[in-house]
Structure 1
Amino acid sequence: MTVGDLEAFKQQLFEELQNLLRERRTNENKQWLRSADVRKMLSISAGTLQNLRITGVLSFVKVRGIMLYKHEDIIALLESGSQTK
C-alpha cells in the first residue's frame, strides 16, 4: 500500500461514515420505518427481513399493504446483535 492508497481509503471511510450519520439522523425523526429503510439500516436482503418477521424477531404492522416497523425496535435489534446477515 502506498500513501495515496491510504489517503483514498481514509476519504472513502470518511464519506461512508458521513452517510451513515446522515441516514441515522433522518431515521431518528421517524417513528415508523418502511421495509426499504429497515433493510438499509440492517444491511439485509428482503428475504432476511421476511424471515425476521416470520420468526417474530421483528414486529411490524401492515397498513394498506405496506409493512411498517417501529424505529425503536430496529435500534433494539441492532444493539442486541441478534440479527443475522
Structure 2
Amino acid sequence: MRVMELVSFGGADTAFAARELPRPVPGPGQVLVQVMATSVNPLDLQTRRGDYRDQVALPAVIGNDVSGVVVETGPGVDDFQPGDDVWYL
C-alpha cells in the first residue's frame, strides 16, 4: 500500500515521505477501503503542524475525509460488502 506518511511535524516540504506499507487486514467490525479521493482540510494542516502531537504518534498516515470502495470486510460486518462505494470522515 503506497502512502504519504507524516514523519515529522512542520512544513509540508519536510513533513511527509512516500512509503510502501503492508496492506492492512480488517479486524472485527472493520472494512478495508481502497481510497479513490481524499482532501486536505484544516484538521490535517493542524496535525501536520504539530498541534496534536500528544495524540499523534509518528510516523502516521493522516487524513480525515475519504471516499472509496470497500475491498474487504472483517468479521461481524453485515452492512457493507466488497464493491460498495463509501465515504467517511
Normalised to the residue count of structure 1, the TM-score between the two structures is: 0.24
Which gives a bigger RCO, structure 1 or 2 (Cα 8 Å, sep 6+)? 2
Structure ranking higher in helix proportion: 1
Structure ranking higher in strand proportion: 2
> Whose radius of gyration is greater, 1 or 2?
1
